[in-house]
Amino acid sequence: MTDFIAQGNLPDEYADLAKGVRDFAQRVVAPVSAQHDKDHTFPYEVVSGMAEMGLFGIPFPEEFGGMGGDYFALCLALEELAKVDQSVAITLEAGVGLGAMPIYRFGSQEQKEQWLPMLASGEALGGFGLTEAGAGSDASGTRTTAKEDGDEWVINGSKQFITNSGTDITKLVTVTAVTGESQTADGRVKKEISTIIVPTNTPGFTAEPAYDKVGWNASDTHPLSFSDVRVPKANLLGERGRGYANFLRILDEGRIAIAALAVGAAQGCVDESVKYAKERQAFGHAIGEYQAIQFKIARMEARAHTARSAYYNAAALMLAGKPFKKAASIAKMIASEAAMDNARDATQIHGGYGFMNEYVVSRHYRDSKILEIGEGTTEVQLMLIARELSL
């Protein structure tokens, strides 16, 4: 896969997928994006179209209803969607990477057979409840508990910022919870963190009112509460006490996907700026004839190109079974910063129109900031990179 870093050298199956998603994004997503963003509505018709294309099943085996593809193919789809609408792209990324992938990676055969076909088909969405008011990167801050009572887990607590957690087609949320405690040799209390599948129709589970966000307005995001939520002990996902460790693996993979999404946003800003610079006239010339604009767009293209190479490299390492944690963090950091920088420059190039919400670049300006925060902040990526350097 290393030759994928050379632009324009994708094998036919990947190139065909990217083209198909690109056409879908222009034909189906673009016409409705501004309205869904304005109304803060979830784009069910778009999600249905993605499901029909098999996008939610890209990296899963056919035995579970998937397309038999790989993670890099998913990343290509995310990049194409994000050029047009980041809300749609994050719905796919979270549905696959956070909703379905933990079950595929760590679930029992029975759990896979029960949940993966509906998630891979796009018939249903799943979420992952990790973050709390005082816990995200810091597992020790987890307050949600799951206590054994006969053959059931009884869950109490809350989560926040959970994507795909309150739609009409959300069927499950996998949550991290404290399932026990132990004392270390130096007297400290160590929490045992496990992950448990919670069907959304379980009594006591509540998706609270959706957030009023700066961006990603068509993406579904809720705080969650759990009040004596009872699920079978068989809903434990993976080994007891390994919940947080397992999710760190999911985050490593997810950072490559977020990088791909961010590259799409960065490239979308380039594409819109090139088009606008050729059309907009000032002082008798298209503004694209002025070197100041040319150089700004050239820097934008360089950022997108560099970030794409970074996520291609991380994906290649992952699929080759080689260590990829550092490469994933580098890709996520570079790509998210490229998206934010390009959105700022694209808005400047568009002038007053860039400040109008109906323009794609204005949505990228609002949407891109979260890319430097979600699934590990820029500061967390720097910490991980330094740690991989033995610092």
Dump the DSSP string for 64-76.
GT--S--HHHHHH
Strand boundaries in the chain, DSSP class E: 125-129, 145-149, 152-163, 170-183, 189-199, 205-207, 221-232, 236-237, 281-282, 285-286
pLDDT, mean over the chain: 95
* pLDDT score at 3: 57
**CATH domain 2-124 topology:** Butyryl-Coa Dehydrogenase, subunit A; domain 1 (1.10.540)
* pLDDT score at 4: 55
Angle CA 331–29–362, to nearest 5: 65
321: tokens are 């079974």
| Residue that has been written with the tokens 């293209």 in this structure | 301
Regions in the chain scoring below 70 on pLDDT: 1-8, 139
* pLDDT score at 285: 97
Q: Please enumerate in sequence order all residues whose Cβ is within 8 A of that of 275, keeping only pairs 6 or more positions apart, or say none.
A: none
Question: pTM of the predicted model, to two decimals?
Answer: 0.95
**CATH domain 245-388 topology:** Butyryl-CoA Dehydrogenase, subunit A; domain 3 (1.20.140)
* pLDDT score at 91: 98
- Domain residue ranges in the chain: 2-124, 126-241, 245-388
Please pick, among 272, 375, 379, 388, the residue that the annotation labels catalytic.
375
375 is catalytic: yes
219: tokens are 């993406």
Q: Please enumerate in sequence order all residues whose Cβ is within 8 A of that of 193, keeping only pairs 6 or more positions apart, or say none.
A: 139, 142, 176, 177, 178, 179, 241, 243, 244
Residue 299 C-alpha from the chain's centroid: 26
CATH superfamily assigned to domain 126-241: Butyryl-CoA Dehydrogenase, subunit A, domain 2 (2.40.110.10)
* pLDDT score at 135: 79
* pLDDT score at 182: 80
**How many other C-beta atoms lie within 10 A of the C-beta of residue 174?**
27
Please answer whether residues 174 and 250 qualify as being in contact, where contact means their C-beta atoms are separated by less than 8 angstroms: no
